[in-house]
A and B are shown apart, each in its own frame.
Chain A
Amino acid sequence: MSIVDTMPDTPWPLLRMRDIRKEFPGVRALDGVSLDVAPGSVHALMGENGAGKSTLMKVLSGVHPAGSFTGLVEIDGAPVAFGDVAAAEAAGIAIIHQELALVPQLSISENVLLGHEETRYGVIDWGATHARARDLLRRVGLDENPALPVSTLSIGAQQLVEIAKALAKRVRLLVLDEPTSALNETESDRLLELLLDLREQGVACVLISHKLGEVMRVSDEVTILRDGRTVETLTVERDAEGRPSVDEDRVIRGMVGRELDQRYPEGDGAIGPIRFEVSDWTVDHPTQAGRRMVDGVDLALRSGEVVGLAGLMGAGRTEFAMSLFGRSYGRYVRGALLRDGEDTRVDDVAHAIASGVAYVPEDRKSLGLVLDDDIRHNTTLAALGRISDRGVIDPGLETVEAQRMSERMRVRSHGANQTVRTLSGGNQQKVVLGKWMFTRPELLILDEPTRGIDVGAKYEIYLIVRRLAAEGACVLLISSELPEILGMCDRVYAMCEGRITGEVPGADADQETLMRLMTRTGEAT
């Protein structure tokens, strides 16, 4: 556990953190972390969920004020002690959280300069404010009318507004926590380009991300945390073709503490007959009449098979899945779900569950779980009939069943009565999976099941999915990560603009084929 000081010849790093320790009651979140960030560099902070990345950034940005942790924080070689977020911002440190901190009803320029408006005698000078906002927006490459309310922008554009807002505070060190987790490929690329631009302008950046590919593309240095400690700092150099000098397996090894020889489990290859068929499934937008979101989707799903549904953000994958699951999205136009060749009733969620369909939503915190309730109640919520008799719940049976399911899903907790809010993201996702397994589904739809989950927990979730398929369930896996689709699926459908644009056997699929299908607008095949 050596701390490799890889600073180049600069006398002072922009930021130097030494031996940071921070305890919460019962948990040592940080146990001697050190981090150096050079001026004008992109520094990636990697580690599994719970490794301490977010806590470290909260220490840096004043969310955890000086005195609530031990250790040294220096800016330009001078020790600092931030009492609150404003003090950190004054020193040029800004943090952009996963949950964006914008006021949706205010305009872009009002958000960008919120609290820093151009004023004359205490009265806002709107002309000057808009002009300054426009300059900042140009710097982040956002080409939108600054008078539009922020709520009309895509998540990617909102992220750019956040960055412009940070620039307005004359930021020198920008911390981005999982900035691309909600972005599609194009938006992600744009954001990463912007980080490189900002580096040229002398703004350093700490990037927290689970996406190894993008980290390798843009970072100059990578610091790996594990269990609240710094494992190592690697310097990334690129050759003429832009290939990084550090390979991804090296980083994964540092994060999990051992070799990860395989990222996806093998299927057993036993694929049965067609069990479910979707025919001509068509859905309109919930409020805009006549706007087709899902257009004549036909799918066939075999038992024991993991089928991928690949598509870019906005392709209509989630819309399709949610509408199939008891018309939870949009306005149903037409279409049927056939089980073993017979029409099945899926006109509301209760009927869909009764027909053997389960949907693990993309947004597990707000759609998958009752966060303030415990593991036990969350596990049984979608199948209360299994633990009750004539409407009366058997609490002992409920506890036993919930414990059994938690063990099967390998949920790490203090027991079935732990509140799910206090679990890590990976464990929360396992509780959601357990909840749906408890309904004994025959068709399991997984919508981005590993988003925001660390490498180790991802593998566990893949194992669970594989086991389900081996037990004879049909699995439909929706994912934006092509490697995940390629690694997990026996067959892949590609989707674009609400239509199925192609079907590829898993063995023949590669990133290029899928990407071509996923971007095939216009005529469907």
Chain B
Amino acid sequence: MNPPTTDHPRLRGMLQGRTRQYGMVIALVAIIILFQVLTGGLLLTPLNVTNLIMQNSYVLILAIGMMLVIITGHIDLSVGSVVAFTGAMSAIMLTSWGLPTIVVVPAALLLGALIGAWQGFWIAYVGVPAFIVTLAGMLVFRGATLAVLGGESIAPLPQSLRVIASGFLPGGSDGLHLPTLALGLAGAAVIVWIQWRSRARSRARDLPVTPAAATALGSVLVVAAIMAFTYVVADHNGLPLVGVLLIALIVGYAFVMRSTTMGRRVYAVGGSERAAALSGIRTKRTTFWVFVNMGVLSALAGLVFTARLNAATPGAGTMFELDAIAAAFIGGASAAGGVGSVLGAVIGALVMGVLNNGMSLIGLGVDWQQLIKGLVLLLAVAFDIYNKRRVGGAAPMLPGLRARPRGGPRQDAPARSSPENVATRSG
């Protein structure tokens, strides 16, 4: 999946360019190990891993959409309210209007798209800052939720909806869940195949490639990680349906952002809107669709959350926007736009999720949980900014830090034109 790599110095350069991503993975693993020890092994029991997936599914869905919004250089404060509103409308359609789930799900997603289009219109075409538009949206859709629910909750909801959040892959009831293992094996095989095919293609183009041993090591790690995860999940009830949904979203969005012209345009708009516009990219349209996408994903999160709660409540989704924004920033997004990745958002959301879950398991109160999560967010971003300045030489924000001796090799030191290389001139 990685772009083609490389001889030794370039490999090092690449690793540095991705310090942030590797740093996040290492931080996630460290947090997992920490809580595995602190909880005496409770964290990674099959039951708890399944719970982790289900508890964090909606934040993960929102984090993916939020990452796209932040990459374009905007922010969306309204997602929590949109989750509540679409959840409430779904519940009303299912109970008061008596519509079947198969109609309600697409209707809710369409509603999310319309809400996204409404906000995207003001942001992209009128030019109102996203902060203002979505702050307004936060109030508007919270108010709308209260209005349509009349201040009451709607519960219970039909089983056909609840299965979205609580169902599992069918098949196998005794011992290990075989379809889950098979799915894991297939997934691992596909990733290994992609790794080697991309290596072969680079080689065919005469681009530098990683040594076969390094690629093999990467493959082994990927297979080990996937199989360990599937084994643990298979030991309980198998993969939850919402897990299947998440995997599809993560793979799909990662592919779009990394490998398609559509994704490239989103990055370009966030990196420099004016340069993107002068490169033939319809920047307003791109921004508009990013918000439509956020609306659809908010509606999806609303469905999953409502299904999990088995109720639509006026207070649903409160503070979800902040969890999603925190996940995106912990996962390496830049407030200036143009930087971030879908996998980063996923890792960021998992860091928050494992922190929540682990701290609850060891009995820390909500007070301490919030305090610690806040500090993690601050430190993750501070580390990122410090690291960028050390490696990339971007303009310093804190002049004081600049004076410090900066160690370590630097792959992208300013190139200097040396007169010896100046073009030989023709007559």
Contacts and interface: CB of A to CB of B under 8 A. Distances in A.
B271 A25 contact: no
Interface string B1-18: 001100000100110010
Given A256-B419, A399-B3, A410-B423, A369 B412 contact: no
B421 A412 contact: yes
Interface in A408-430: 410, 412-415, 417-419, 421-424, 426-427
A48 interface: yes
A258 B415 CA distance: 21
Interface in B202-222: 202, 205-207
A422 B278 contact: no
B126 interface: no
B280 A382 contact: yes
Interface stretch (B29-37, B47-55, B260-268): B260-268
B267 to A, nearest CB: 7
A256 B422 contact: yes
Contacts of B282: 348, 350
**Which of B274, B278, B411 has the most chain A CB within a 10 Å cutoff?**
B278
B208 to A, nearest CB: 9
A370 B403 contact: no
Nearest to A421: B394
B415 A265 contact: no
A174 to B, nearest CB: 22
Interface in A316-364: 325-326, 328, 348-350, 352-353, 359, 361
Given A422-B392, A459-B425, A326 B280 contact: yes
B280 A350 contact: yes
Given A421-B394, A427-B415, A372 B261 contact: no
A373 B407 CA distance: 24
A454 B277 CA distance: 28
B422 A460 contact: yes
Contacts of A399: 3-4, 205, 207
A72 interface: no
Interface in A370-390: 370-373, 377, 381-382, 384-385, 388
Interface in B375-412: 392-394, 399, 403, 406-412
Interface in A452-467: 454, 456-457, 459-460, 463
B336 to A, nearest CB: 8
B414 A328 contact: no
Contacts of A1: none
B276 interface: yes
Contacts of A396: 4, 198, 201-202, 205, 207
A395 B423 CA distance: 30
B262 A391 contact: yes
Contacts of B207: 396, 399-400
Interface of B is mostly: loop
Contacts of A410: 423
A65 interface: yes
A201 interface: no
A25 B416 contact: no
**Which of B409, B416, B426 has the most chain A CB within a 10 Å cutoff?**
B416
A50 interface: yes
B272 interface: yes
Interface in A235-272: 255-258, 261-262, 265-266
B409 A25 contact: yes
Interface in A25-84: 25-27, 48-50, 64-65, 67-68, 84
A421 B393 contact: yes
B275 interface: yes
A381 B286 CA distance: 15
Contacts of A400: 205-207
B124 to A, nearest CB: 15
B414 A459 contact: no
Contacts of B348: none
Contact of B275 (A367, A415, A422): A367
Nearest to B408: A25
Contacts of B410: 24-26
Contact of B417 (A361, A377, A395, A427): A427
Contacts of A456: 417, 419, 422-423
Contact of B427 (A25, A84, A266, A366): A266
A47 to B, nearest CB: 10
A279 to B, nearest CB: 24
Contact of B413 (A24, A393, A417): A24
Contacts of A262: 425
B420 to A, nearest CB: 8
B411 to A, nearest CB: 7
B370 interface: no
A524 interface: no
Top 4 A-B residue pairs of the complex, sorted by shortest distance between their CB atoms: A370-B271, A50-B416, A456-B422, A26-B413
Interface of B: 3-4, 10, 13-14, 17, 198, 201-202, 205-207, 259-262, 264-265, 267-268, 271-272, 274-282, 338-339, 392-394, 399, 403, 406-423, 425-427
Given A393-B260, A421-B392, 10 more contacts: A24-B413, A50-B417, A227-B416, A349-B280, A370-B268, A393-B264, A395-B4, A395-B259, A410-B423, A419-B392
23 contacts: A27-B413, A49-B417, A227-B419, A257-B419, A266-B426, A348-B282, A349-B277, A349-B281, A352-B280, A370-B271, A370-B275, A377-B268, A381-B276, A392-B261, A399-B3, A412-B417, A414-B415, A421-B392, A422-B393, A454-B417, A456-B417, A459-B423, A460-B423
